[in-house]
Amino acid sequence: MPDDELRRHWEREEFRARQAQERNLGKKNNERGMHFHYGMAQMRGETRENGWVREHTEYGLGGDGKDYRRIDQARVVNAQSREFSECKSGRVDGDEKTLNQLAMDRQLLESGRYGSGRWVTVDGKRISKEILERGLHRER
C-alpha cells in the first residue's frame, strides 16, 4: 500500500474512533442521569407503590396554554393532593431550557394544580445565581 493511501486509511480510522467516542459520551451522561433519577426516587420513596409516576406530562401551560411540561416524578392522587419532583443530575444553569422549566413549575404551583414541588440536585453541584434569584431555594 503506498504511503499516501496508508496515511488516509489511518486518518479515516482515527476519525471513526473519535466519532464513536463522542457518541458514547452523550450516552454515558444520559445513563448517569437516568441512574440518578431512579436512585433518588427510590431513596425518597417516590415509587409506583406509593402512587408516584415517572415522566408525567402536564398540558395547557405557558402564556397561550399550548406548552406542556414533562415532570420527572409526580404523585397525582386527586385534584387536592398533587406534588412533583424534578431531578437534575447535571448543571442547573440559567439557560433558556432550565428557566422555561422553572417558569412552568412555578405556574403549576401558583395555579393550584400542584400543592408542592421540588428540584433535587446532586449534592455539591453549582446552581446558577439566576436560578436561585428566581425562587429555587436550597434545602439540606
**pLDDT tens column, 81-110:** 899 998 888 778 888 888 888 889 989 998
Let me know the angle formed at the C-alpha of 42 by 122 and 58, rounded to the nearest 5 degrees.
80
Cα separation values, 71 from 3, 6, 10, Å: 56, 52, 46
Residue 137 predicted with pLDDT over 70: no
pLDDT at position 75, please? Answer: 92
The mean pLDDT value of the chain amounts to 83
* β 116-121/52-61 pair status: unpaired
